[in-house]
Amino acid sequence: MKRLLFIVSLLGITSLLYAQNTRTILDKAANVINQKSGMRASFSIAGGTYNGLAGTIAIKGKKFQLSTPQMIIWFNGREMWSYVKSNEEVNLSRPSNTQLNRINPYSFITMYRSGYKLSHEKKGSNYIAHLQAQSKNSRISEAYITIHAKTYLPSTVKLCEKGVWSTIQLSKVQNVKLSDNAFQFNAKEHPNAEIIDLR
């Protein structure tokens, strides 16, 4: 009986250490992305609500700017401007965390911090981190994040939302120095835009 308890305890500790190791990998990836000066990348999404969406994203802490052929979104940490190019309309709002997580392709990088069971495997030069939601009410029930083992840069993210899988491909990830002005709408650059204040 003592031997059985020892084996069960050992398995529990091993599982905990493995999850901790996965957390360390994801922590390092988050640190690489959340550079103080800023970061820029190209992305494309296949499947799910945003199937076919592609563009670039710039990130600096909680701030981001997302640009696609159809629209540009600026978020300065508090307020968000969504500019639709076809009708030159800008919606100004104060989004909730849930709304931000749906818009920002890099929101996955912090979701692992609570509510997910973590594991990973090493495949070639990459880690594949697996996140499994602990609650049935989680918006993202499961995710796989491919992270380069040396640079800790993520390259592919597969997310399952309400039973539907989508894949985000990331490329041209680079650290850049970004001004805070890059994360808010500049009316001088879009003089014909109509601003609709939804705050």
What tens digit of pLDDT does each residue of 65-92 get? 999 999 999 999 899 999 999 999 999 9
Q: Are 46 and 52 in contact (CB under 8 A)?
A: yes
pLDDT tens column, 91-132: 999 988 777 777 776 777 778 888 899 999 999 999 999 999
State the pLDDT at residue 199. Answer: 87
pLDDT confidence band for 50 (50 / 70 / 90):
confident
State the pLDDT at residue 67. Answer: 94
State the pLDDT at residue 48. Answer: 86
| 127 CA to centre of own chain | 17
Alpha-carbon gap, residue 57 to 113, rounded angstroms: 22
Alpha-carbon gap, residue 17 to 14, rounded angstroms: 5
Whether the CA torsion 102, 122, 31, 177 is positive or negative: it is negative
Q: pTM of this prediction?
A: 0.79
